[in-house]
Structure 1
Amino acid sequence: MVLEDYNPHVHREEYIAHPTNNAETFFHLIKGVLGTGVLAMPEAFKYAGMYNGIIFLLTLAVFVTYCLHILVRTQYILCKKKQTGLLYYADSMIVACEVGPGCFKNLGSILSFMTDFFMIFYQIGTCCVYWVFVGDNLKYVVDNYYKNNFSKQIYMLFLFVPHCLGMCIRNLKLLAPFSLVADVITFVTFAVVYYYIFSDLQSNFTDRPAWGSAIDFPLFFGTVLFSLQSVPVVISVENNMKTPAFFRKWYGQLNVGFGLLTIFYFFVGVFGYWRYGEDIKSAITMNFPKEEILAQVIIISYCIAIFLSYLLNAYVPIHILEERYIYPKLNEDATERKKFWIDMALRFLYVCVTCLISTTIPLLGLIISLCGVFCTTHLGIIFPPLMEICALWEDERSKPKTLLFWKSVAIIIFGIFSMVIGVYATIKAMVEQLEVEYMQITVSAATSLATTISSNGTTTI
């Protein structure tokens, strides 16, 4: 078959057992991307300032969408060159190095492994954020009724068994109804968010700082990238489409979905920061009056939506680990039953790992920022133009003499610079906040011990 005549999209269903239709893909995309990040946008605006935040949110939204177009388009080109209906992200990197400049010929396996690593690390970070979000918000509501002084880590542990049971759903198509339910809950949550924002919007817009601190700006940058640049979800839903050619149309899921997501982030970020100012929490729901029933219901409901999002986001790293690193090492006569138990064991281990990380480092806002600047800069900014250069190298369209080459190089340099600055600023803030929290825990424990000794009337420990 002539290369130009081969259409990978026509052969896609040969590789997908349960492809999703356009509507299911759209619901997966919205729910997979629209997670806890949207509720952290007001805090992100606190880092950037009002006007600065507006300008860079809209700019980054367009930039992120453009980079995703580069990625999806380049994967299509590489599929044509390989004459296959489907290439996963890491496989695309290998093929790109094979057809790219000579200096990349031996880097395919390394870059492929790095791609898998960042995909898995990002999704683990995302799921950890979900654990922390649910723990924070459950404590915020339940403590209003029971003064038990349970830490948010205890509330996270309460969710361990439900997460294990939910992870037993192994088919992405079976998750589509849950994504629809989560989307409905999410939209209702936004309605309530706007209700609380506009019910007592007393301050003037100009009361908020127009420009934030340059030191804090990387935290804004990381939060926005984490919230919008969900590369693993985008790749996963596009790979599982029944009609993937529709995905990149100007009215397709990518443009329409990210346009809608940008509107949500814009309004929640701008008006949330306008309403609460410097008192804004890492999730705006924790600014709601916890004694009101409406606030309690909507917080618990959104916790359910985030729980459902956890199941969708966990699909990607588990699929990568199984299909690329576990199943290929099994004997050819390995039974489906053996694969089933390996899959279930891996899913249980995934829940254990994300739970352990979340209870150890329960810093919601900073985990969001770190995942954003470390993983999504590689997956969504650095790697796509690098793959594009390689994919078009043989037909002269990405040689150093062309505008496309220098455009791609500029994006790569921007991504590397943003990643270095952002990771440094986020880790620095994380260390400082952990020191403060552990100091507070130490002081609280010492005070409690002193109170106990005093009440017993003895100095013996």
Structure 2
Amino acid sequence: MEYKLRAATKTTSLLHTPTKNINSVDTVLHLVATTFFQCGQYKCETNGVPVTALVGSTTPLVEKLAPEDEEMGYNPFEHRKLSHPTSDMDTLIHLLKGSLGSGILAMPLAFYNSGLLFGVLATFVIGFICTYCVHVLVKCAHILCRRTQVPSLGFAEIAEAAFLAGPPAVQRLSGVASATINWFLGIDLLGCCCVYIVFVAKNLKQLYLDQEGGLGTYMVFVVIHTYGEVTDQQNVSGDNSLTESYMAVVDFYTDDHWDLRIYMVLMMPVLIAINMVRNLKYLAPLSMIANLLIATGLAITFYYIFSDMPALETRPNFSTWHQLPLFFGTAIFALEGIGVVMPLENNMKTPTHFVGCPGVLNIGMFVVVTLYTSVGFFGYLKYGDETKGSITLNLPTEEVLAQSVKVMIAVAIFFTYALQFYVPMEIIWKAVNHRFGAHKLTAEYIIRIVLVIATVGIAAAIPNLGPFISLVGAVCLSTLGIMFPAIIELVTFWEDPGLGRFNWVLWKNLAIILFGVLGFVTGTYSSIDEIVREFGTNIE
């Protein structure tokens, strides 16, 4: 059987540019993939062709696939030229670090929206489905690498290669599939940046308004703020900086309970300054610092969670049907890490061990799901109806140790904003840079400033972080992490090797797609409904 493929080096996606122009994007994508798990970047060369780390289809696809006997004889792993391949243990550590972001802090709120028993069962089910979809994606990547005789493929490349090699009816959609993945990843990461701003601002406000110590105690917090911010709010990453010190001084002398949006605006100059850094190597050390701070903050949080634990009977096993979409969106947002999968697998010394049995992926995801479930279960059991968007918001405000968690998480999130910002910035810049001629540098700085202001504006418009996190999770991650792997497998298997007896591959993937659509629709509807109700209200 012969599959017709065309060269994919033009404009079939936002990142489709000639190979010679993709080095900076590879650097960006490799480092962002390691935001929470490595200080530095992976470097992977495949027969002189850089491997796309996360998104974008920049590796040229062959015009025509090899005959079946050649295809079966081609081993893509033997053709990967890795300067620094990672061992199984290294990859496991990276997977854990990449998956254990600050989204874990929102899991108690997810359990508040589900109930204890249902939350445990549903979290493991979602974790299983997410893990299985990663298996599907990696398996399809291996098959398509053999068909196209390319050593490795990125996420968007996998989709494009699958559609190009699929039934004639879907071949013309290859560019759409690749571009959709790039767009959704960009939207997801910009959404994360908005989440980080709300996270920092709300925690900052609570920290200082609750601080009732003397001037000496206050000065300690000002010094801490000078090096990193203190925040408390819901999910994923945060920020911190000298702006926080300024805000702290203002609050101290004015005792004014400002609106949350004012804190966001005051943070903006620092965010703009940090995101003017165009070379990621200067931000690489921040990844290591963020990892250490998150780990320490989580350990302290567990210390408070296990103090004076109430009885199980005090919490419901099931919440309400209306709240379940919020649980789904938050859980998917926290658990889904499909963006880092292909960079990790592409850089392994023994990539077949990634999805083997037990395999690096299975071990890592079991640990991740267990830890997320534990934080959600015990966090909700501890605080019940008082559970807030981030578990750190429930920590005692009168204890310095508890407040230090806010500092740690805020600093980690602040550092993460700049790294996450790079991918959508590079995607957008690659699409528009040809328009600016000799003024490219100035134009790039202006676009960076506009994007930062836009994220602050969105965060100010949606200050209730809970439904916003659910919205991001329901829209982007349910699509990227659940629906797309199933679609890719269907297209890849449609003609060769086929859909199996009774078309079981078809029915299985339709069920997975339906599950993703259910989360997409219900999570989006519920989140938007709550955002509309909360829009314009003052934050206490």
The one of 450, 459, 470 aligned to 1:369: 470
Q: Which residue of 2 aligns with 1:48?
A: 114
Change (3 A) 1:84 1:419: same
Question: Are the aligned partners of 1:30 and 1:183 in contact in 2 as well (CA < 8 Å)?
Answer: no
Q: Distance in 2 between matches of 1:359 and 1:239?
A: 39
**Pairing 1:103-252 to 2, within 5 Å after superposition:** 103-145=169-211, 146=252, 147-167=255-275, 177-201=285-309, 203-238=310-345, 244-250=351-357
Q: Distance in 1 between matches of 2:264 and 2:121?
A: 36
1:314 is aligned to 2:421: yes
In terms of fraction of residues, the more helix-rich structure is: 1
Q: Which residue of 1 aligns with 2:376?
A: 269
1:357 is aligned to 2:458: yes
Q: Distance in 2 between matches of 1:393 and 1:80?
A: 16
Q: CA deviation at 1:348?
A: 4.0
Change (3 A) 1:152 1:206: same
Q: Distance in 2 between matches of 1:41 and 1:85?
A: 38
The one of 518, 528, 532 aligned to 1:427: 528
Q: CA deviation at 1:122?
A: 1.1
Q: Partner of 1:212: helix, strand, or coil? A: coil
Q: Distance in 2 between matches of 1:162 and 1:432?
A: 31
Q: What amino acid sits opposite 1:41 in the alignment? A: M
1:185-217 per-residue CA deviation (whole Å, 9 max, x = no partner) reads 11211111111112232x211110111101110
Q: Partner of 2:321: helix, strand, or coil? A: coil
Once structures 1 and 2 are overlaid, which stretch shifts more, 422-431 or 166-175? 166-175
Q: Distance in 1 between matches of 2:77 and 2:432?
A: 27
Q: What amino acid sits opposite 2:75 in the alignment? A: N
Change (3 A) 1:75 1:171: farther
Q: What amino acid sits opposite 2:334 in the alignment? A: S
Q: Partner of 2:127: helix, strand, or coil? A: helix
Q: Distance in 2 between matches of 1:115 and 1:315?
A: 16
Q: Which residue of 2 aligns with 1:8?
A: 76
Q: Distance in 2 between matches of 1:233 and 1:164?
A: 26
Q: CA RMSD in A?
A: 3.0
Question: Are the aligned partners of 1:47 and 1:220 in contact in 2 as well (CA < 8 Å)?
Answer: yes
Q: CA deviation at 1:426?
A: 1.6
Q: What amino acid sits opposite 1:379 in the alignment? A: L
Question: Are the aligned partners of 1:39 and 1:284 in contact in 2 as well (CA < 8 Å)?
Answer: yes
Q: Which residue of 1 aligns with 2:489?
A: 388
1:102-132 per-residue CA deviation (whole Å, 9 max, x = no partner) reads 3212222222222222111111112211111
Question: Are the aligned partners of 1:35 and 1:309 in contact in 2 as well (CA < 8 Å)?
Answer: no
Q: Which runs of 5+ in 1 are unaligned?
A: 445-461
Q: What amino acid sits opposite 2:193 in the alignment? A: C
Q: CA deviation at 1:380?
A: 0.9
Q: What amino acid sits opposite 2:395 in the alignment? A: F
Q: What amino acid sits opposite 1:63 in the alignment? A: I
1:63 is aligned to 2:63: no
The one of 406, 416, 421 aligned to 2:517: 416
The one of 357, 367, 372 aligned to 1:260: 367
Once structures 1 and 2 are overlaid, which stretch shifts more, 190-199 or 70-79? 70-79
Change (3 A) 1:355 1:12: farther
Q: Distance in 2 between matches of 1:339 and 1:90?
A: 27
Q: Distance in 2 between matches of 1:396 and 1:84?
A: 20
Change (3 A) 1:179 1:430: same
Question: Are the aligned partners of 1:3 and 1:80 in contact in 2 as well (CA < 8 Å)?
Answer: yes
Q: Which residue of 2 aligns with 1:448?
A: none
Q: CA deviation at 1:392?
A: 2.1
Question: Are the aligned partners of 1:226 and 1:371 in contact in 2 as well (CA < 8 Å)?
Answer: yes
Once structures 1 and 2 are overlaid, which stretch shifts more, 138-147 or 392-401? 392-401
Q: What amino acid sits opposite 1:5 in the alignment? A: G
Q: Which residue of 2 aligns with 1:450?
A: none
Using the size of structure 1 for normalisation, the TM-score is: 0.83
Q: Which runs of 5+ in 2 are unaligned?
A: 1-65, 212-251
1:76-109 per-residue CA deviation (whole Å, 9 max, x = no partner) reads 3223222223433223222211111232122222
Number of equivalent positions: 429
Larger RCO, structures 1/2 (Cα 8 Å, 6+ apart) = 1
1:89 is aligned to 2:135: no
Using the size of structure 2 for normalisation, the TM-score is: 0.72
